[in-house]
Amino acid sequence: MIKVAIAYNKETGEIYEHFGHAETFAVYEYGDTVDNCRKKLIDVSDKHGHQAMADLMKKEEIMAVMSQNMGPEAKALLLSYGIVPVAGYCGDADTAADMLVTGQLPVIGEEAGACSGGCGGCGGGCSGCGSDDSKDGGCGCGCGC
């Protein structure tokens, strides 16, 4: 069984902006195939900060965690628990979870920046992007462009 968690926006069904500020995580438990998946939502509105979130992921036996943004402290905490941090992606959480477990999620290099891959390069596909002019403070998708 493979278990992944995604910071989740309940209103849109999309990947939430930031790991430590999420109010909900979608946990996906995969069996033999992608079609054999159970999804449950965990309310984390009573938890605050990276440590509380990382501790919850460890308790839930999560193998990988995804959010649009994730700072170095959060990544280090997850890695210390043997959990793979995945950041820099926008869009539908269910699709992203399936792509992650099947190895179809494109790899984003650190040097490329968060928006260069999963968010379509600031305006090239992120469902949350407003402007693709990154020199005035960002594209608006929360990816840090």
String of b and e for 13-51 (b: at least 16 CB within 10 Å)? ebbbbebbebebbbbbbbeeeeeebeeeebebeebeebe
Please, which residues bridge with residue 118 across strands?
A: none
Give CA–CA dist 8/15, Å, rounded: 5
Who wins on pLDDT, 128 or 14?
A: 14
Here the tokens at position 103 are 């190895």
Who wins on pLDDT, 74 or 129?
A: 74
For 24-79, write each residue's pLDDT tens digit. Answer: 999 999 988 888 899 999 999 998 888 999 999 999 999 999 999 999 999 999 99
CB 131 within 8 A of CB 123: yes
| Burial class of residue 99 in the structure, from the number of CB atoms within 10 Å of its CB (0-12 exposed, 13-18 middle, 19+ buried) | middle
